[in-house]
């Protein structure tokens, strides 16, 4: 009887919500809901009917992943879900325990580092759309992603969730992702705003960074998501910036996000990132989630009315300490989100676990894998080339969709690299040995392995001795203090004795290649001794198939590194200044490298990385022609049209992510040696030549002048370079900008 009553109540509430729509919208195409006057009129009408208590309730959680709406007026609840790579499993109403449903599995898409490595915005839209379809089918109104925090140090535990070290690449990849998700009537929630570049001490660390670093490095992807992607939700970060918590930071939220960028969506806390009722009320926080918990495991049961934007907010309004207009502005934004999502009667129904979703997950995985070294044509390993292939390493079999924190997922299927290799080469040709082992996935403690490390290594060495070729699937995983929420890595080394294992394997079989699975750079003391090396990622449901397709040569690798890999940790900018620059002293952290993040640091300081940003090899060869511009002199409002010939001179079809960098010749302030300002993923058949065209807005060559707090474009000569990586310039041309 209870289920029947709940169903009838749901029908009644949605019926009321329907009649709240203007008559000329009922039954019409959902595009009408973008009409500002219609929506604003309905918002004001609903707002006028709500009690003060009903409005307060809209601004805070009612469960771990929902807000209550306004039942009396038929305004629906808002349901949210992690994460950026797939729709997370269901949780209990008021605890962090899994609900153990049988129908909450999902397609797991590759982590966003992999998406960034594709350098393919078209694929990013398809990824976002597929994720949005699954979120809509699961009746989610907000998906808590994408993450666009900049890769500042290879120790950050959540780098695997983000789009790399370059703000331009992140900006161009995040916009289509957002558009793809929101096409389905599901809000993307871009996170974590802002300067959340580590998980160590994330709840309290105070970041000090210059206005220039803020505007040139850490904000561009957020700005693009708002102004170009039209994102409907943004999540605040845990940390502080200039002494004020980011989830109610006046500069970040009121002035920049809602002021300068005209963001009209909802600003949401990370779970438990609010700290003060007055600041939250005045500084732009709209929805508060997860307070009174540590965001992970414990909390005060049913504490929702105690949230900073709950009863404390209500009391301060009633006492006159805070204005009701602050509350009304929040509710307006929340109602606008309702109209865009669960009160849009014409939004699609969504899809789940379709063949198309599987194909998109596979395609992203294949395009993201980066070939870093290929001596003696180690790769590809065509079928029939070797009789016995040794597959070694825990990451060949470990379920890498588990762990990691909020991005944990429940895949319908997860094809391991070992299974992919067996399917590709045949069971009789594959020898497997674990080699090393970690504990069970956990993101609050390091759990011990159940296996004896010496025995595993001995067995792996014997397996390698009896094989024609060895492939080690190693790297990191999503356990505590690796690629995992809640803390950072301790160092850049491979864990669980993998470096020693590689040395031991080489002693018995020098025909060895390594596949690093991680979301971060790792140290490679053995790099000169291995013949083949790939940087793989957390590839999701179809990861094993993708890996086997690249290794076998069925698919030509085309991924490019979205971050630089240093030879040693101290070569990285943030790690070169000592603890005050990373991870801080426990209270404050100063971004001393300023705008010189990633390749900007390596180039400007003349430090050679192990592998540079944008680097990636192919099984074919590409010949770049001379860069051409449509003219020599440009004004600020013009666009530079750069073109060049690109030829696939090899014998295999392939794709190349060509990159365009800009260098100002005589800047009045320090500028990096070069900055990425354009890229294009170009597919070429063997022997084919195409004319590649990349457009560059002259205004995009400006820098942020913190002396006058404004973007500045100087009259000067600018070198336009086309390149296959940040360290491999193929051709350059010089233009002049006149003011």
Cβ atoms of residues 315 and 243 within 8 Å: no
CATH code, 431: 3.40.50.1700
What's 373's DSSP letter? E
Q: What is the DSSP letter of 629?
A: E
CATH number of the domain that 725 lies in? 2.60.40.10
User: Picking from 27-41, 94-108, 587-601, 669-683, which range would have the lowest pLDDT averaged per residue?
Assistant: 27-41
pLDDT over 50 (residue 200):
yes
Sole residue written with tokens 């998501």: 225
Return the closest-CA partner of residue 351 out of 360, 340, 339. Answer: 360
Is 628 part of any domain?
yes
In this predicted structure, what is the pLDDT of residue 26?
35
**Would 208 be classed as within a structural domain?**
no
**pLDDT above 90: residue 662:** yes
Helix (H, G, I), strand (E, B) or coil at 113: helix
SS3 601: helix
What DSSP designation does 268 have? Answer: E
Q: Both ends of the chain: CA-CA distance in Å?
A: 75
The reply to whether 309 falls in a domain is: yes
**Same domain? 583 vs 675:** no
Distance CA 391, CA 420 (A): 11
Backbone angles phi, psi at 718, to 5 degrees: -130, 130
Q: Say if residue 590 is in the same domain as residue 646.
A: no
Distance between CA atoms of 180 and 612, rounded to whole angstroms? 30
Assess if residue 633 is contained within a domain. Answer: yes
Q: Residue 34 pLDDT more than 80?
A: no
Distances (CA, A) of 262 to 31, 223, 257, 333, 725: 21, 10, 7, 12, 35
CA distance 535 to 520: 10
Residue 203 domain-assigned (yes or no) = no
Q: What is the mean pLDDT of the chain?
A: 94
Residue 487 designated active-site: no
Residues 612 and 595: their CA atoms lie apart, in Å, by: 17
Cα–Cα distance, 672 to 489 (Å, whole number): 28
Residue 708 confidence (pLDDT): 96
pLDDT score of 16: 47
Same domain, 276 and 388: no
Give the pLDDT confidence of 532-565 residue by residue, as tens digits. Answer: 999 999 999 999 999 999 999 999 999 999 999 9
The CA radius of gyration of the chain, in Å to the nearest whole number, is 26
Given the residues 166, 270, 487, 488, the one annotated as active site = 270
Count of the separate structural domains present in the chain: 3
Name the residue range of residue 34's domain: 1-72+253-340
Tokens representing 302 are: 């049913």
Q: What CA–CA distance (Å, rounded) separates 133 from 182?
A: 9
Dump pLDDT digits (tens) for 136-194: 999 999 999 999 999 999 999 999 999 999 999 999 999 999 999 999 999 999 999 99
User: Is residue 9's pLDDT more than 70?
Assistant: no
Please tell me what DSSP assigns to residue 227.
H
> Which string of DSSP letters, residue by residue, matches 25-38?
GTTS-GGGGG-HHH
Same structural domain for residues 423 and 543?
Answer: yes
Asked whether residue 612 is domain-assigned, the answer is: no
Looking at the structure, tell me whether residues 505 and 387 fall in a common domain. Answer: yes
Q: Are residues 314 and 419 in the same domain?
A: no
Report yes or no on 35 lying in a domain: yes
pLDDT higher than threshold 90 for residue 117 = yes
CB atoms within 10 A of CB 388: 15
Q: Are 403 and 395 in contact (CB under 8 A)?
A: no
What is the Cα–Cα distance from 680 to 683, expressed in whole angstroms? Answer: 10
528 and 634 assigned to the same domain: no
For residue 83, whether the previous peptide bond is cis, meaning omega lies within 30 degrees of 0, is yes
Do 630 and 694 belong to one domain? Answer: yes
Same domain as 595, residue 536: yes
- 368 and 323 both lie in a single domain: no
Does pLDDT of 299 surpass 70? no
Boundary-marking domain end, from 604, 638, 666 = 604
On the question of pLDDT at 210 being above 90, the answer is yes
Per DSSP (E only), the strands in 314-435 are: 370-374, 389-392, 430-433
Helices 167-182 and 220-227, axial angle in degrees (round to 10): 30
370 and 505 housed in the same domain: yes
Instruction: Give the end of a domain, one of 307, 340, 373.
Output: 340
Residue 285: inside a domain: yes
Write out pLDDT tens, residues 306-318. Answer: 999 999 999 999 9
């Amino acid at each position: 009887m209870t289920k029947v009553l709940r169903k009838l109540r749901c029908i009644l509430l949605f019926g009321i919500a329907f009649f709240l729509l203007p008559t000329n919208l009922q039954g019409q195409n959902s595009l009408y809901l973008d009409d500002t006057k219609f929506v604003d009129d309905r918002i004001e009408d609903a707002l006028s009917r709500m009690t003060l208590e009903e409005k307060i309730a809209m601004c805070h959680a009612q469960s771990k992943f929902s807000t209550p709406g306004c039942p009396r007026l038929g305004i629906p609840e808002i349901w949210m879900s992690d994460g950026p790579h797939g729709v997370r499993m269901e949780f209990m109403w008021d605890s962090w325990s899994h609900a153990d449903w049988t129908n909450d599995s999902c397609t797991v898409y590759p982590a966003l580092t992999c998406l960034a490595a594709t350098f393919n915005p078209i694929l990013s839209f398809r990824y976002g759309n597929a994720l949005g379809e699954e979120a809509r089918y699961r009746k989610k109104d907000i998906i808590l992603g994408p993450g666009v925090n900049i890769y500042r140090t290879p120790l950050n535990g959540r780098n695997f969730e983000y789009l790399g070290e370059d703000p331009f690449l992140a900006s161009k990849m995040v916009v289509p992702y957002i558009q793809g998700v929101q096409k389905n009537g599901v809000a993307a929630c871009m996170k974590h705003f802002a300067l959340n570049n580590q998980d160590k001490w994330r709840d309290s660390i105070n970041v000090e960074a210059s206005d220039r670093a803020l505007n040139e490095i850490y904000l561009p992807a957020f700005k693009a998501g708002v102004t170009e992607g039209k994102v409907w939700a943004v999540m605040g970060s845990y940390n502080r910036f200039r002494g004020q918590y980011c989830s109610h930071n006046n500069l970040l939220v009121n002035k920049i996000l809602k002021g300068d960028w005209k963001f009209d969506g909802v600003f949401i806390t990370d779970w438990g990132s609010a700290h003060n009722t007055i600041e939250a009320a005045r500084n732009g926080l709209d929805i508060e989630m997860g307070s009174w918990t540590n965001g992970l495991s414990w909390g005060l049961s049913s504490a929702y009315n105690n949230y900073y934007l709950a009863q404390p907010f209500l009391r301060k309004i009633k006492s006159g300490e805070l204005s009701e207009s602050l509350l009304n502005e929040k509710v307006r934004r929340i109602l606008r989100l309702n109209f865009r999502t669960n009160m849009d009667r014409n939004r699609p129904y969504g899809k789940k676990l379709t063949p198309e979703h599987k194909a998109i997950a596979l395609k992203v995985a294949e395009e993201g894998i980066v070939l870093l070294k290929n001596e003696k044509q180690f790769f590809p390993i065509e079928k029939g080339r070797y009789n016995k292939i040794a597959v070694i390493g825990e990451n060949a079999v470990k379920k890498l969709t588990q762990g990691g924190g909020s991005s944990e997922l429940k895949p319908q299927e997860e094809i391991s690299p070992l299974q992919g290799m067996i399917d590709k080469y045949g069971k009789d040709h594959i020898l497997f040995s674990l080699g090393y082992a970690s504990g069970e996935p956990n993101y609050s403690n390091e759990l011990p392995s159940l296996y004896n490390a010496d025995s595993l290594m001995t067995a792996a060495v014997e397996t390698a001795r009896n094989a024609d070729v060895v492939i080690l699937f190693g790297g990191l995983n999503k356990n505590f203090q690796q690629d995992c929420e809640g803390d950072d890595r301790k160092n850049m080394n491979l864990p669980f004795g993998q470096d020693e294992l590689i040395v031991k394997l080489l002693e018995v079989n020098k025909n060895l290649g390594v596949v690093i699975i991680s979301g971060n750079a790792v140290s490679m003391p053995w790099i000169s001794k291995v013949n083949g090396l790939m940087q793989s990622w957390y590839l999701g449901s179809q990861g094993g198939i993708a890996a086997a397709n690249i290794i076998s040569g069925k698919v030509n690798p085309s991924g490019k590194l979205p971050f630089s890999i240093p030879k040693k940790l101290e070569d990285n900018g943030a790690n070169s200044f000592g603890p005050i620059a990373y991870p801080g002293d426990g209270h404050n952290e100063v971004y001393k490298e300023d705008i010189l993040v990633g390749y900007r640091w390596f180039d400007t300081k003349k430090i050679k990385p192990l592998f540079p940003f944008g680097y990636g090899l192919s099984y074919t060869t590409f010949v770049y022609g001379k860069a051409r511009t449509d003219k020599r002199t440009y004004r600020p409002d013009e666009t530079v049209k750069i073109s060049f010939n690109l030829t696939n001179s090899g014998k295999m079809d392939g794709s190349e992510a060509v990159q365009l960098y800009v260098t100002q010749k005589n800047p009045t302030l320090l500028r990096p040696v070069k900055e990425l300002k354009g890229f294009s993923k170009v597919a070429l058949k063997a022997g084919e030549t195409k004319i590649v065209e990349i457009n560059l807005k002259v205004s995009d060559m400006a820098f942020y002048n913190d002396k006058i707090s404004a973007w500045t474009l100087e009259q000067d000569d600018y070198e336009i370079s086309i390149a296959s990586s940040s360290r491999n310039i193929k051709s350059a041309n010089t233009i002049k900008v006149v003011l």
